[in-house]
Amino acid sequence: MITQTLSPVERLDQARRHWPVGSRTRYTLANQVGTVAGHRQDYGLAVVVDVRFDVNSDIKTGVQPNRLVTSPARNESQVLLGAAGILARNGWVQQEHIDWSQVGTMPESECRMDVLGAIAAAAGLPPYVWGEESSRLTEHQVARYVLADRAARTFAFLRNLTSKKDAHAIDVELVLGDGWNDYSYRTADDVIAALVDAGNAAVGR
């Protein structure tokens, strides 16, 4: 949610962090899905997010950020950019894929997550889908899991945590969840910036 007590410049920066260009979103008032194309201040300095909807994709529509929710990504770049936005909006945790203290008090999609939880959520999956949970996927979820898993491995490669040759063989929970995400010196800003960088680098994958 965009904080109204911030200055116009700060609100614009917040919108950029919450909805990175290239991430997927759904406009709840019109129930239309599209890709974030930009951010700007409208008349009266109101912040709007420009979205190219899948219907009439040649038209950018400025919508209020608070009317947007995450929509499942369709490629690795969108997964990583979407994960960055989720962490910027929800908050970040260590030691678990989702902040279990929040589960039951709010929708899971709004809970704090770690890097793998956010990657899963951006692909349209539960944040805790990794590990043994992946064996309980429905047929509909399998393709989304494959995309999330590919995005996680791409992220690990782009962060120099594995070679391109070995990326397919790593244990992403061990390398990213128990490892990179949980280092004592890691910060939320580190994780968000790394996801944005990787998402931009993965365009076209």
All domains of the chain in start order, with CATH: 8-70 (2.30.30), 76-201 (no CATH)
Q: Are 59 and 52 in contact (CB under 8 A)?
A: yes
Rounded to whole angstroms, how far apart are CA atoms 13 and 139? 39
- Residue 135 pLDDT > 90, yes or no? no
Q: Are 11 and 2 in contact (CB under 8 A)?
A: yes
Instruction: Report the pLDDT value the prediction gives residue 96, as an integer from 0 to 100.
Output: 96
- Residue 119 pLDDT > 90, yes or no? yes
pTM: 0.93
Q: What are the φ/ψ torsions at residue 93 (nearest 5 degrees)?
A: -130, 165
118 burial type by CB count under 10 A (0-12 exposed, 13-18 middle, 19+ buried):
buried
Helical (H) or strand (E) element with 158: helix 139-158
Instruction: Report the pLDDT value the prediction gives residue 153, as an integer from 0 to 100.
Output: 97
Residue type, 96: E
- Residue 204 pLDDT > 80, yes or no? no
For the segment 14-24, what is each residue's pLDDT rounded down to a tens digit? 999 999 999 99
Strand ranges (E), the chain? 24-27, 32-41, 47-53, 60-63, 68-70
For the segment 52-92, what is each residue's pLDDT rounded down to a tens digit? 999 988 888 899 999 999 999 999 999 999 999 999 999 99
- Residue 197 pLDDT > 80, yes or no? yes
Rounded to whole angstroms, how far apart are CA atoms 166 and 174? 14
Give me the percent of the chain exceeding a pLDDT of 90.
82
Q: Are 162 and 174 in contact (CB under 8 A)?
A: no
| Average pLDDT rounded to a whole number, residues 27-37 | 94
For the segment 144-165, what is each residue's pLDDT rounded down to a tens digit? 999 999 999 999 999 999 999 9
Instruction: Report the pLDDT value the prediction gives residue 4, as an integer from 0 to 100.
Output: 58
- What rounded mean pLDDT belongs to the chain? 93
